[in-house]
Amino acid sequence: MDDVRSVVHGLVESMQQELVRDLLILPPNDGQDWKPEILPRISIEKLFDNPAELTAGWSWLQDARTEWTVGGADWMYGADVRGFDDVQWNDRGIEQYFRAVRRWKEQLIVLVHLSAGAPARATELMSIQHKNGPEAKSQRGIFIENQMMAFVTTYYKGYSAGGRFKVIHRFVPEEVAELVAYYLWLVQPFVEYLQFVSKQYIGEPSSFLWEPEPEEDWEAGEDEEIDEELNDEDTHIDQGEEICSAVPANVDGFWDTNRVRKVMQRETEKRIAVRIGVALWRQAYPAI
């Protein structure tokens, strides 16, 4: 258990630093608080949400009861280019920024998986949307409940036999919720803006936090139970571009169970010298 805590604490610390330096492009804070003074403050306890709201594109970020200190949609743009009349975006710099986002979101999926209570299946993680999809049945999976952030998934195992499915709420610690909130509030809108100006993606932004590969078999749900020692030598983290002809809307590419497994093994090995994958963590969790 101490090793798992070390992984979680290590991820939180590194992700806080990378969020400020690489994603928000701000100078680090030398004090005990990881947030620079210029960074707008956010309190999970003061956020509101309406789970009954099914409007396409809606999330807790749009709840009018929350008193935001700045407008998240344009804060980074204003902070980074304020004072410049004619902005010329550097394609290489944009791609470098997108790579930083990919690295950060890879750490995020591991952090959520390890800190949100009973482990989810990889396919459950990839089903999470940060805002409502285009159809009412395609509802988001991140909610603010009782001053906490919940990742909500629907579990369909045994549905065909019993005609029922389970809705599972997994609450994350405040430090994790804060990272997610900052990303969705300030970073995600800036990423979408850069995609637009660089013409890297001209479609609608994805509502998925980790965009699932189109061919992913949602009904099976057991792909992650394969032997996690297979192909461990392959350290390449597949981002889906070579597997299918579809173009991902998210800059971190498509996700599948294999990518989740490899990312999780990489991050755990880096911190405790032990490779822990999705299936192994789900098997070990009840004994902790």
Give all strands (DSSP E) within the chain, no chain letters.
142-145, 148-155, 166-171
pLDDT tens column, 202-213: 678 899 999 999
Is the model more confident about 18 or about 220?
18
Give the three-class secondary structure for 257.
helix
Predicted model pTM: 0.87
> Is 258 a residue whose pLDDT tops 90?
yes
With CA atoms as reference, report the closest residue to 200 among 88, 105, 98.
Answer: 98
Mean pLDDT of the chain: 85
Q: Can you give the pLDDT at residue 237?
A: 52
Lowest-confidence pick of 24-38, 82-96, 265-279: 82-96
Neighbour tally for 127: CB within 10 Å: 22
Give the three-class secondary structure for 142.
strand
How far apart CA 247 and CA 38 sit, in angstroms, is: 36
Is the model more confident about 204 or about 264?
264
**Which residues, including other chains, have CB under 8 Å from residue 156's CB and lie 6 or more apart?**
165, 218, 219, 221
pLDDT tens column, 81-138: 654 556 678 899 999 999 999 999 999 999 999 999 888 889 999 999 999 988 766 6
How far apart CA 211 and CA 195 sit, in angstroms, is: 16
